[in-house]
Amino acid sequence: MSLHRSVVAAALAATLLTAGCSDDSSADPTPVTAGPTTSVAPTTAAGIETTTTVAQAATSTTSVSPPVTKPLTTAPPSELLTEVTAAYDAAYADLLAATIAGDENSPALANHIAGAQLEQWREVIRGLKADGLSVRNDSASPEWRRVEAIDEVGARQVALDVCRVQRQETVDGAGVGSGAEGRPYRYRETLELVDGGWKWTGREWIDSSSDASDCASQ
């Protein structure tokens, strides 16, 4: 099983994708319910990258602190936010539906997803099937998403900072589910104007720690 698919299988509960940088056509997305396969480097609260050598780790007696939780914020209402968020939500819904159905050829995937990300998501769904896995909703788990910021990157490109908790879980060939992970993840989602409509083209995981999210809870 590839690293990409093993991440999906381990935690299908954080989000259906994770492309590297939003404008990187070679970035490799991760599934709707898994933590990303690519990420920014863990940082301190000040945003400065830190490193620890093997020797330091062996002699350190200080436990790692959880990331500082950012305050609960929501992007201010605007016509652009409404338009872009509607396309993003539609893309996510199509991706979840295709993943749960195990249909990487679903034509709906192309309605609101474009570029290399579209093809890579199809490969993720295909890979799940090859590994004997499927995806379903865990009805006992919560699900929410909050758009915290919107940035106009260019005339035809917008970035959303989004916190998400997913309720999907992976299911093995015996019908045993993994259970939804239930933790939030923070992503920077990129959408671009393609043929007159907004399409989801990239994602970057931007939590400051690989172990926990700095998303404020609902």
Does a structural domain hold residue 174?
yes
Domain that holds residue 108: 3-43+69-205
Does a structural domain hold residue 189?
yes
**Per-residue pLDDT tens digits for 149-194:** 999 998 899 999 999 999 999 999 999 999 998 899 999 999 999 9
Question: Which residues 6+ apart lie within 8 Å of 128 measured at CB?
Answer: 5, 8, 9, 31, 99, 102, 134, 135, 170
Which residue type occupies 97?
A: A
Does a structural domain hold residue 218?
no
Give the residue among 37, 203, 4, 3 at the shortest CA–CA distance from 113: 203
Sign of the CA dihedral with 123 first, then 93, 141, and 146 last = positive
> What is the model's pLDDT at position 151?
97
**Per-residue pLDDT tens digits for 115-143:** 988 999 999 999 999 999 999 999 888 89
Does a structural domain hold residue 183?
yes
Angle between helices 79-101 and 116-130 (to 10 degrees): 30
Does a structural domain hold residue 16?
yes
CATH number of domain containing 26: 3.10.450
152, containing H or E segment: strand 144-154
Does a structural domain hold residue 212?
no
Strand partners, 134: 171
**Per-residue pLDDT tens digits for 83-114:** 999 999 999 999 999 999 999 999 999 999 99
Does a structural domain hold residue 210?
no
Number of domains present in the structure of the chain: 1
Does a structural domain hold residue 112?
yes
The predicted model gives 19-23 an average pLDDT of: 37
> What is the model's pLDDT at position 65?
54
**Per-residue pLDDT tens digits for 28-75:** 334 344 333 333 333 322 222 222 233 333 333 444 456 667 889 999
Whole-prediction pTM value?
A: 0.73
> 10 Å Cβ neighbour count for 209?
15
Q: Is the pLDDT of residue 77 over 90?
A: yes
Proportion of the chain above pLDDT 90, given as a percent: 58
